[in-house]
Amino acid sequence: MNYEKINLEQWNRKEHFLHYRHNLQCGFSLTTKVDITTLKAILAKNNIKLYPAMIYLITKTVNSYPESRMAIKDNELVIWDYINPAYTFFHPKTETFSELWSEYFEDWYSFSQEYNQDYQKYKDNLSLSAKANFPENHFCISMIPWVSFDGFNLNVANVKDYFPPIFTMGKYTRQRGKILLPISIQVHHATCDGFHIARMVNKLQDLCDNFSG
């Protein structure tokens, strides 16, 4: 878990960061739809499930930009070298969910191996946190595959120092020959502006269009 400390005095977002961390503590969310038409075809051809593929692509997107990897550590603002996905999975019998995390790897094959190993080991664990040693360098992903949505907002009670983005996906729909996946992204305004969240969405769309399997 290596990281780089940010020198606030030399950071061009110092004023924005301090304002939204101390004066006007707030986060914001954006809901959009990602075109996964090409991605679904590739996944079907290679017998790959959508959820782990999206976890990988979202994690690759998040790790592409420093604003997505910021955190407070030892009372200082830092940027993790990389962050790992923490994601939910559902237990039909109990109608509850557990949270699992996997180590991030930049290439799909290595990540899919890690994901499959974790899922097979912990899929029957009903604890809220199924896997121990939850890393500091993480962000959260969840999915509501039973319903599509046009808007989704996660109300975080205290957003002061929680900077990782939070992703929520819904049920994909077919519209005019396209397969569209609703996705909501929640961010902290201290480290992320509209420009940054738009850049993440555009990056994710590009990765979906060019997934190689």
Q: Could you give the C-alpha distances from 164 to 4, 86, 146, 154, 205, in angstroms and in order?
A: 16, 11, 26, 13, 20
Give catalytic status of residue 189 as yes or no.
yes
Contact 139, 62 (CB under 8 A): yes
Q: Of 16, 91, 189, 196, which one is the catalytic site residue?
A: 189
d(CA 147, CA 129): 25
Rg (CA), the chain: 17
End-to-end, the C-alpha distance of the chain in Å comes to: 28
φ/ψ of residue 78, rounded to 5: -130, 165
30 token code pair: 């954006």
37 token code pair: 């038409």
Which positions are annotated as active-site residues? 189
